[in-house]
Amino acid sequence: MSDYMLLTGCTGLLGRYLLRDLLLDGCHVAVMARPSRKETASARVEGIMQMWERECGTPLPRPVCLEGDVCQPGLGLSSQDRAWVAASCNLMLHSAASLTFHADGSGEPYNTNVGGTRNVLDLCADLDIGDLHYVSTAYVCGLREERAMEGDLDFGQQFRNEYEKTKLQAEQLVRAADFLNQLTVYRPAVIAGDSRTGYTNTYHGLYMYLKLMSVLVRNTPPGPDGVRDTPVRLEMTGDEPRNIIPVDWVSAVMCHLLGTPEAHGKTFHLAPEIPLTPREIIEAGYTYFKSRGVEFAGPATATDTPISDMDQNAHENMGMYKEYEVSDPEFDLTNLQEYAGHLPCPIIDDAMMHRFWKYGEDDRWGKRRPQQTTPCSSIERHCSELLVDSQPNSGCQALRINFRALGPSGGDWLLHVNDGRLAGVERGVSSQSDASFQIDSERFWCLTTQRAGFPVADVDKALDTSPSRRQHTLSELCSALFGVTVCQERVTAPAAQQPANVTLLTQTD
- Any idea where the domains of the chain sit in the sequence? 4-196+242-274+327-338, 379-492
Cα dihedral 439, 445, 446, 452 in deg (nearest 10): 110
- Taking alpha carbons only, the member of 353, 505, 357, 493 closest to residue 430 is 505
Cα dihedral 193, 195, 197, 202 in deg (nearest 10): 0
Look at residue 326 in the predicted model and tell me its pLDDT.
66
Tell me the backbone φ, ψ of residue 426, rounded to 5 degrees: -120, 145
Statement: the pTM of the whole predicted model exceeds 0.95: no
Cα dihedral 209, 211, 216, 218 in deg (nearest 10): 140
- Which H helix or E strand runs over 321? none
> For residues 330 and 280, what is the distance between their CA atoms, to the nearest angstrom?
18
- Taking alpha carbons only, the member of 139, 241, 244 closest to residue 193 is 244
pLDDT at residue 301 is higher than 60:
yes
Using one digit for the tens of pLDDT, what is the confidence trace for 41-99?
999 999 999 999 999 999 999 999 999 999 999 999 999 999 999 999 999 999 999 99
Cα dihedral 203, 208, 213, 214 in deg (nearest 10): 10
Pairing of strands 228-234, 64-67: unpaired
- Listing DSSP states for 195-250 in one string gives TTT---S---THHHHHHHHHHHHHTS---TTS-EEEEEEESS-S---B-EEEHHHH
Query: Which one-letter DSSP state was computed for residue 347?
Result: P
Of residues 389 and 450, the one with the higher pLDDT is 450
Three-class DSSP category at 485: strand
| Domain 379-492 fold | Nonspecific Lipid-transfer Protein; Chain A (3.30.1050)
Average pLDDT for 342-368: 98
Look at residue 316 in the predicted model and tell me its pLDDT.
75
Using one digit for the tens of pLDDT, what is the confidence trace for 162-221?
999 999 999 999 999 999 999 999 999 999 999 999 999 999 989 999 999 999 999 999
For 145, left (φ over 0), alpha (ψ -120 to 50), or beta? alpha
Q: Given pLDDT bands bounded at 50, 70 and 90, which one contains residue 302?
A: low
Using one digit for the tens of pLDDT, what is the confidence trace for 123-162?
999 999 999 999 999 999 999 889 999 999 998 999 999 9
Look at residue 93 in the predicted model and tell me its pLDDT.
99
How far does the chain reach from its first CA to its final CA, in angstroms?
A: 19
Average pLDDT for 108-120: 98
Look at residue 393 in the predicted model and tell me its pLDDT.
53
- 360 near 205, Cβ under 8 Å? no
pLDDT at residue 300 is higher than 80:
no
pLDDT at residue 418 is higher than 70:
yes
CATH 3.40.50.720 for domain 4-196+242-274+327-338, yes or no, is yes
Calculate ∠ Cα 410-413-416, nearest 5°: 140
Sequence-distant (≥ 6) Cβ neighbours of residue 107 within 8 angstroms: none
Look at residue 395 in the predicted model and tell me its pLDDT.
53
- Taking alpha carbons only, the member of 263, 286, 408 closest to residue 341 is 263
Average pLDDT for 467-479: 94
Return the minimum-mean-pLDDT range out of 35-39, 183-187, 335-339: 35-39
